[in-house]
Copies of this chain bind each other. A is one copy, B any other.
């Protein structure tokens, strides 16, 4: 889609930098054919580094946009982003496209739905009620138990096991809120990438990225009823126990362990080899590997001390 068409559909001043636009992305990750946005002054320094073709900005921030990037001045950049996201949403379930490809030795049970363009590797087993969306790719020797749903464009590696009812690639929870309190959907045009040797529990949900990918790296183990928000990255061999909630853009290093019902707030990093005890809640980066507990999170031994202090209070 031409940049000029996008501006015209959004009813904003036409840019002089007209070119073909393929999608939206963050300032950091946008390529020369993508549009980005900046609403929060805090990130203004990222403007000078961006490779984006164009950026939705407020009038106040427009002067900071580099010369070779089109400044698209709007009142509420995030809201405009939401409106523009709809232009790039692929069809929910395309009836056109290449016939599904199924590798040798794979078993596709009755009641499985394979959408056009999907590619299933060798020796896979897709059980009844499984849905595989357009252009999904699945490696070899992977098992999808009954009633698993894999949304379009997602990638699942080899030697994976996905338990019944899990949902891979549902929309991330994204919207822009207007001044009157209504919400405009940010279409989630990214995907989910699950690497090899990953096991995913029953009824777990892994949301697709707004832009780019939500990633579960090689060897990770995810239990039942876990929520993985959009754009999360789960490190190699991490262990995520049941009912954990990872808010959007949480980045876990390798071999992170998260106990049952623990959680992360969004946009933070957890150091490799960190253990977060059951019910713990990370609200900022964890930079030093160790064992942490509590909500908000603290070093586990501090948390134990705190419980000791409480116990002493109760003995008085």
A151 at the interface (CB under 8 A from B): yes
Decide: B131 and A175 in contact? CB cutoff 8 A: no
* In-complex Cβ contact of A205 among B128, B202, B296 (8 A): B202
Q: Are A245 and B260 in contact (CB under 8 A)?
A: yes
Copies in the complex: 3
Q: Mark A146-158, 1 if CB is under 8 A from B, else 0.
A: 1101010000000
CB contact list, A200-239 vs B, under 8 A = 201-203, 205, 207, 219, 221, 223-225, 227, 229, 237, 239
- Judged by a CB distance under 8 angstroms, whether A164 is at the interface is yes
Return chain B residues, CB-CB under 8 Å to A302: 314
Question: Which residues of chain B come closer than 8 Å to A49, judged between CB atoms?
Answer: none
Q: Mark A120-156, 1 if CB is under 8 A from B, else 0.
A: 0000010111010000000000010111010100000
- Interface size bracket, A side: 35 or more
With A111-B111, A147-B149, A164-B149 given, is the CB distance from A127 to B93 under 8 Å?
A: yes
Pair B113/A170 contact, Cβ less than 8 Å: no
Interface string of A2-25 (1 = CB under 8 A from B): 000000000000000000000000
User: Counting CB contacts under 8 A, is A182 at the interface?
Assistant: yes
Q: Is the interface of A mostly helix, strand, loop or mixed?
A: loop
Top 6 A-B residue pairs of the complex, sorted by shortest distance between their CB atoms = A149-B164, A131-B146, A170-B202, A113-B128, A167-B202, A205-B224
Chain A residues with CB under 8 Å of chain B are 92-93, 107, 109-111, 113, 125, 127-129, 131, 143, 145-147, 149, 151, 161, 163-165, 167, 170-171, 173, 175, 177, 181-183, 185, 199, 201-203, 205, 207, 219, 221, 223-225, 227, 229, 237, 239, 241-243, 245, 247, 254-255, 260-261, 263, 265, 278-279, 281, 295-296, 298, 302, 305-307, 309-310, 313-314
